[in-house]
Structures are given as structure tokens and as C-alpha cells.
Amino acid sequence: AVAITAGQQALSVHDNSGANGTDDLFNVQFLQYADQTVDLAPLVKAALLPPEKFAPMVELYSAYLDRAPDATGLHYWTAQFGAGASLAEIARSFYNSAEAVAHRPVTHGAGELVTAAYQDALGRAPDAAGLAYWTAELQSGRMPDYKLPLALVLGALASAGSADARF
């Protein structure tokens, strides 16, 4: 297990079998396991960020990939966000990922895309007004496809106390 304490640049590696104890690592970028190599740089960068940088990333995973984030990916994207990448840039990367492409309906019109985005981002079907509005935004070109889930997430996060914000 690898643990990073917020605000610290050291990592603790704990042997879960109990045979080798715990080591604190400084100035180490990669951990080599039998089956994979883990780049620690994004993990350390993310650990130095305030907690509010993580909330949008968690929501983007749900909205674009319909799943909870994996620890490595969450730390990577949060580090990118903390380093200056915009949410729109990150959303575009999520939208264009093989995982997101495989998750989206193969053939769809704007209305179907809006319905799927509502379900993934907010966990519900769109209301009639929301469906009409976002469908028109997509059809007119004012809203690029990749930004729709982001717009829904940001709207929910900005609406403290609403049912969508609690999802």
C-alpha cells in the first residue's frame, strides 16, 4: 500500500503481508512492481493540493466514464488541474478516451446524448425544459458534445442544496 499525507512530499510504502514493514520514500519518482510501474510524481503533486481540487475530478469520472475514479487516475488528473489544465481541457480528454467512447451510445441524436449525459452526470433523466435547452445548444453548435457533461457537473456543483448537487 502506498500512502501520501496531504501537504507532504514523502510517501509511505507499507508491506501488506507484514513481512517487511513500512518505508518512507523521498525523491523517488517511480515504484516498480512485478506487474506495473507507478509514476509517483502526480500522486505527490495531488497530495499538495487543497481538497476542493478533487471534487470536480470525481464528478468528471462519473459524468464521462460512469464510474468512480481509480486512485492513480484521480491523482493524475487532479495534479493536471492543479498545474493549470482547465476543466474543459480535462473534460475533452475524458470525452475522447477509449473508455468514454465505448461507454457512449454508438448512434445518437442530440436528445439521446443529453439524456445519457444527465443519467451519467446527475443520475437521473432530464426534465423537459433541460432536455429542450441542452438539445438546442448541441444542435446549434453553441455547446460542443464534450462540454455537455462538464456543464451539467458544474451546474450541479454551483447549486448547493439542490438534489443534483447532492448526487
Residues 71-104: tens digit of each pLDDT: 888 888 988 888 899 999 999 999 999 999 988 7
The answer on pLDDT for 2 being more than 80 is no
Neighbour tally for 122: CB within 10 Å: 23
Please, what is the average pLDDT of the chain? Answer: 84
Q: Is the pLDDT of residue 34 over 80?
A: yes
pLDDT over 70 (residue 9): no
Per-residue pLDDT tens over the stretch 100-152 = 998 876 767 899 999 989 998 898 999 999 999 999 999 999 999 999 999 99
Please tell me the number of Cα atoms within 13 Å of 4 on its side-chain side: 19
**Res 165 pLDDT > 90:** no
User: Do the Cβ atoms of 10 and 25 come closer than 8 Å?
Assistant: yes
Interaxial angle between packed helices 87-96 and 148-158, expressed in degrees from 0 to 180 and rounded to the nearest 10: 130
Mean per-residue pLDDT, 3-23: 70
Rounded-to-integer distance, Cα 63 and Cα 152, Å: 9
Residue type, 64: Y
**Residue 40 predicted with pLDDT over 90:** no
pLDDT of residue 18: 65
User: Has residue 167 got a pLDDT over 50?
Assistant: no
Task: Give percent of the chain with pLDDT exceeding 70.
Answer: 87
Looking at residue 127, its pLDDT comes to 94
Of 25-39, 53-67, 81-95, give the lowest mean pLDDT range: 25-39
Indicate whether this model's pTM tops 0.85: no
**Residue 71 has what pLDDT?**
80
pLDDT-derived band at 160, boundaries 50, 70, 90? low
